């Protein structure tokens, strides 16, 4: 990008009610339809008549597919209308980041729900045979987005380390059983074999497909990156990232949030071909304007710098867990504060901490618009 | 006379029906009473499974516990419920206890949350509580001069809790202490700290008539050796999936152990014969003289598994204990 502080989104956007119910095959209420239309008008979506026909139609595979496509179209326009420079479809195509991927790969079986926290659970799979690439995972979604977007496109891609860390490793643990006596070693070696087989058999073929179809930028999402902060595990994570991106003619970035950045910072310089680290900071920061000491949430950029990370930062300036709409001046000051630490304005990109899926469209839209205004204020103040 | 016991060491997964109910409750679709009924039904089920597996002690399953610390986080005076934080190296989260002022407690925390009325009379009961070190380490201290001060205040409250539990009939009290051994990024061993940990444990179990166990998990038990051999508890719990067995075998134990030999974080159902073989090998090396009593158990809570798998693991645990008892007598 030629301009300073380009703006981007990170991943998910909430699914509107008409998308959720419609995709489930349910009929929509008049209120839900009018809510859909009002967003359609606000975003300047073409052919709204046709859209309403789809919403009112009876359930069929064709209607479900159409609903998914319309919601992707809405989300792309949503980001573009908010003024972002780099967009995707708000992951309207995906159920979520884990299950969507695993369900499209052979070798896995879902075992049921396990606790995430409180009364929240996630459906956890086991790897039961060698993972095999049977069909594209994100390709169709990417092609649709590319066709419908006018801005630059970035593909969010769930990283191999996270997929492995969130999956029971039955196949490889069984395979290695008896070969290594020590349980600790056995589990680690089984994890390693699982990880690199997944990368070789599934992840790289999918990236190959995306790149051959014109993907220019892939964001590897690794929320689990620092779950196991030991040196051995962190080295495994770095090796997995490097092997994932090796040799492709494509830009890669890494997104990680709500993690231990002290640990990540230590290993960040070892990530090869990682153009940008998109990180969460706003969540930890004060809401007052200003730069300097007040910006407590951005302290850890210093650690990345001290360890020698030389790539770009995707600076999280919008808290995705709160309805507080960051004023443009606050966004500006967060950006300017980061520039002071990094010393090179061209290394700073601007984005929310993470995907906005937990916020309403109204709140998300205001937050993103202010983010774009804040980036513009920061640009002006440096001129 | 040797005894090989077996029991569970933490929060059990919620059975599928209960998961559905808790989700419906969260979405405001059912009443508090319906939720309570579902917890009761599921508790009876997880107790039944332990009985039919032939475990030596029974727990109520701790299905209501949102995390190991939560009953304390929610009920202690001076503590507020904080934001989510990662539960060690798991894809599971707990809420941080925020220590705002001196902690105290007038209530009976664990007694209140436990389904004592469903525990069968013909088998001894076991209760599980967070150990002083783990509580203090995982809390966010905004009041005490240091974490040790907090640890001792918590240990005093814990003593009241475990005394009460022992008085109403719990014969085994486990203090869960993952933080003591989970040190993934530190090379040094906190030898000085272990002296204080021992003192806090003394406060926690003082005068308690039940058997006590310090159950460690998610980390290498040999980090706290040999000091842990002097801890004022009857049993020491060891996570064999994180502990270097070769190092463990260099020590001479005169204390009973609870071997965490079943992997609560793997869905694979273990082969009891393989586990029996390993248990015998460990027992033979760590006890130079004969041992009196030991336990085999899961290395940690089973809540990381779907209930169906946990159920199979519980059955396998019973099989393993019986096989060991038979083979060690021969």
pLDDT given at position B330: 64
Chain A residues in contact with B243 by the CB 8 A cut-off are 184
pLDDT 10s digits, B41-71: 999 999 999 999 999 999 999 999 999 999 9
Q: Do A114 and B305 touch (CB under 8 A)?
A: yes
pLDDT 10s digits, B9-30: 999 999 999 999 999 999 999 9
Q: Which helix (H) or strand (E) element contains residue A365?
A: helix A361-382
Per-residue confidence at B188, pLDDT binned at 50, 70, 90?
low
pLDDT given at position A142: 98
- What residue in A sits closest to B309 (Cα-Cα)? A111
Residue among B243, B214, B219 nearest B229 (CA): B214
Q: Do B23 and A121 touch (CB under 8 A)?
A: yes
pLDDT given at position A180: 67
Residue among B279, B271, B287, B285 nearest B326 (CA): B279
Q: Do B268 and A174 touch (CB under 8 A)?
A: yes
Q: Are B99 and B144 in contact (CB under 8 A)?
A: yes
Residue among B291, B172, B282 nearest B238 (CA): B282
Long-range interactions of A267-270: CB distance < 8 A, separation 24+:
A267/A234, A267/A235, A267/A237, A267/A238, A268/A304, A268/A307, A268/A309, A268/A311, A269/A307, A269/A308, A269/A309, A269/A310, A270/A238, A270/A242
First-to-last alpha carbon distance for chain A, in angstroms, is: 17
Q: Do B91 and A183 touch (CB under 8 A)?
A: no
* pLDDT at residue A239 is higher than 90: yes
- What residue in B sits closest to A224 (Cα-Cα)? B91
pLDDT 10s digits, B194-222: 999 999 999 999 999 999 999 999 999 99
Q: Do B89 and A229 touch (CB under 8 A)?
A: yes
Please tell me the distance in Å from A228's CA to the nearest CA on chain B.
5
Beta bridge partners of B238: B259
Q: Do B308 and A111 touch (CB under 8 A)?
A: yes
Chain A residues in contact with B274 by the CB 8 A cut-off are 177-178
* pLDDT at residue B244 is higher than 60: yes
Mean pLDDT of A239-254: 98
Q: Which of A173-187, A314-328, B4-18, B297-311 has the lowest mean pLDDT?
A: A173-187
d(CA B91, CA B50): 26
- Interface pTM, i.e. ipTM: 0.95
Q: Which helix (H) or strand (E) element contains residue B125?
A: strand B125-130
Q: Which of A147-156, B179-188, B269-278 has the lowest mean pLDDT?
A: B179-188
- What residue in B sits closest to A121 (Cα-Cα)? B19
Q: Which two tokens stand for residue A190?
A: 């089984």
Mean pLDDT of chain B: 95
Q: Do A111 and B309 touch (CB under 8 A)?
A: yes
Nearest Cβ partner for B13 among A115, A120, A170: A115
Mean pLDDT of A96-125: 97
Q: Which two tokens stand for residue B4?
A: 């090989």
**Pairs across A and B, CB distance < 8 A:** 90
Mean pLDDT of A241-270: 97
Chain A residues in contact with B10 by the CB 8 A cut-off are none
Please tell me the distance in Å from B273's CA to the nearest CA on chain A.
12
Per-residue confidence at A125, pLDDT binned at 50, 70, 90?
very high
pLDDT 10s digits, A214-235: 999 999 999 999 999 999 999 9
pTM of the model: 0.96
Q: Which helix (H) or strand (E) element contains residue A78?
A: helix A61-82
Q: Are B173 and B208 in contact (CB under 8 A)?
A: yes
Residue among B268, B245, B266, B267 nearest A185 (CA): B245
DSSP A145-199: HHHH-SSEE-EEEE-HHHHHHTSB-HHHHHHHBTTB--HHHHHHHHHHHHHHHHI
pLDDT 10s digits, A269-283: 999 999 999 999 999
pLDDT given at position B187: 63
Q: What would the CATH number be for the domain defined by B3-329?
A: 3.20.20.210
pLDDT given at position B327: 86
pLDDT 10s digits, A312-361: 999 999 999 999 999 999 999 999 999 999 999 999 999 999 999 999 99
Chain A residues in contact with B268 by the CB 8 A cut-off are 168, 170, 173-174
Q: Taken in order A57, A63, A68, A69, is the CA torsion positive or negative? A: negative
Q: Do B14 and A115 touch (CB under 8 A)?
A: yes
d(CA A85, CA B103): 51
* pLDDT at residue A301 is higher than 60: yes
List, in order, residues 6 or more apart from B159 with CB less than 8 Å away. B203, B204, B205, B206, B207, B208
Chain A residues in contact with B16 by the CB 8 A cut-off are 112-113
Q: Do B16 and A182 touch (CB under 8 A)?
A: no
pLDDT given at position B185: 81
The domain ranges of chain B are: 3-329
């Amino acid at each position: 990008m030629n301009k300073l502080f380009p703006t981007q989104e990170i991943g998910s956007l909430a699914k509107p009610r008409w998308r959720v119910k419609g995709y489930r095959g349910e009929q929509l209420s008049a209120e839900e339809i009018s809510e859909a239309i009002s967003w359609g008008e606000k975003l300047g979506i073409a052919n709204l008549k046709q859209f309403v026909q789809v919403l009112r139609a009876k359930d069929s595979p064709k209607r479900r597919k159409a609903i998914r496509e319309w919601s992707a179209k809405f989300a792309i326009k949503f980001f573009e209308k908010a003024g972002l420079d780099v967009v995707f479809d708000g992951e309207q195509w995906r159920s979520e980041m884990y299950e969507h991927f695993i369900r499209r790969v052979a070798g896995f079986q879902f075992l049921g729900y396990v606790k995430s926290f409180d009364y929240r659970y996630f459906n956890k799979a086991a790897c039961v045979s060698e993972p095999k690439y049977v069909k594209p995972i994100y390709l169709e979604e990417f092609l649709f987005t590319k066709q419908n977007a006018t801005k630059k496109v970035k593909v969010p891609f769930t990283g191999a380390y996270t997929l492995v860390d969130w999956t029971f490793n039955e196949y490889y643990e069984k395979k290695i059983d008896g070969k290594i006596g020590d349980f600790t070693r056995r589990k680690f070696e089984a994890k390693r074999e699982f990880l690199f087989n997944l990368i070789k058999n599934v992840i790289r073929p999918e990236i190959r497909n995306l790149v051959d179809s014109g993907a220019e930028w892939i964001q590897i999402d690794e929320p689990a990156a620092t779950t196991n902060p030991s040196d051995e595990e962190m080295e495994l994570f770095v090796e997995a990232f490097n092997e994932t991106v090796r040799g492709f003619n494509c830009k890669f970035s890494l997104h990680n949030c709500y993690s231990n950045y002290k640990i990540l910072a230590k290993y960040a310089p070892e990530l090869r071909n990682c153009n940008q680290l998109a990180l969460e900071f706003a969540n930890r920061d004060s809401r007052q304007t200003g730069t300097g000491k007040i910006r407590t949430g951005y302290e850890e950029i210093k650690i990345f710098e001290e360890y020698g990370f030389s790539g770009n930062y995707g600076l999280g300036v919008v808290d995705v867990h709160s309805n507080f709409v960051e004023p443009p001046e606050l966004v500006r000051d967060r950006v300017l504060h980061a520039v002071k630490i990094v010393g090179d304005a061209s290394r700073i990109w601007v984005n929310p901490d993470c995907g906005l899926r937990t916020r309403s469209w109204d709140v998300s839209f205001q937050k993103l618009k202010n983010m774009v205004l804040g980036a513009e204020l920061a640009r002006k103040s440096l001129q | 006379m040797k005894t090989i016991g077996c029991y569970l060491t933490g929060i059990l997964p919620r059975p599928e029906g209960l998961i559905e109910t808790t989700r419906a409750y969260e979405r405001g679709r059912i009443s508090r009473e319906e939720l309570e009924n579902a917890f009761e039904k599921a508790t009876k089920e997880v107790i039944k499974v332990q009985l039919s597996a032939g475990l030596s002690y029974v727990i109520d399953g701790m299905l209501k516990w949102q995390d190991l610390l939560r009953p304390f986080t929610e009920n202690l005076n001076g503590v507020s419920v904080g934001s989510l934080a990662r539960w060690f190296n798991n894809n599971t989260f707990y809420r941080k206890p925020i220590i705002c002022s001196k902690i105290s407690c007038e209530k009976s925390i664990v007694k209140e949350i436990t389904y004592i009325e469903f525990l069968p009379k013909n088998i001894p009961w076991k209760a599980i509580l967070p150990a002083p070190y783990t509580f203090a380490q995982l809390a966010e201290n905004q009041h005490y001069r240091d974490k040790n001060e907090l640890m001792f205040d918590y240990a005093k409250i814990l003593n009241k809790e475990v005394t009460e539990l022992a008085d109403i009939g719990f014969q085994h009290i486990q203090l869960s202490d993952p933080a003591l051994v989970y040190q993934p990024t530190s090379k040094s061993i906190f030898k000085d700290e272990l002296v204080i940990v021992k003192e806090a444990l003394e406060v926690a179990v003082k005068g308690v008539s039940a058997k006590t166990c310090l159950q460690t998990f998610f980390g290498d038990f040999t980090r706290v050796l040999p000091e842990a051999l002097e801890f004022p508890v009857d049993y020491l719990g060891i996570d064999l999936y994180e502990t270097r067995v070769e190092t463990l075998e260099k020590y001479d134990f005169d204390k009973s152990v609870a071997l965490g030999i079943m992997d609560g974080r793997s869905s694979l159902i273990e082969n009891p014969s393989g586990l029996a073989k390993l248990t015998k090998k460990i027992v033979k090396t760590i006890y130079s003289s004969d041992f009196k009593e030991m336990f085999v158990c899961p290395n940690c809570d089973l809540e990381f598994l779907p209930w169906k798998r946990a159920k199979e693991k519980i059955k396998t645990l019973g099989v393993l204990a019986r096989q060991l008892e038979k083979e060690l007598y021969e």
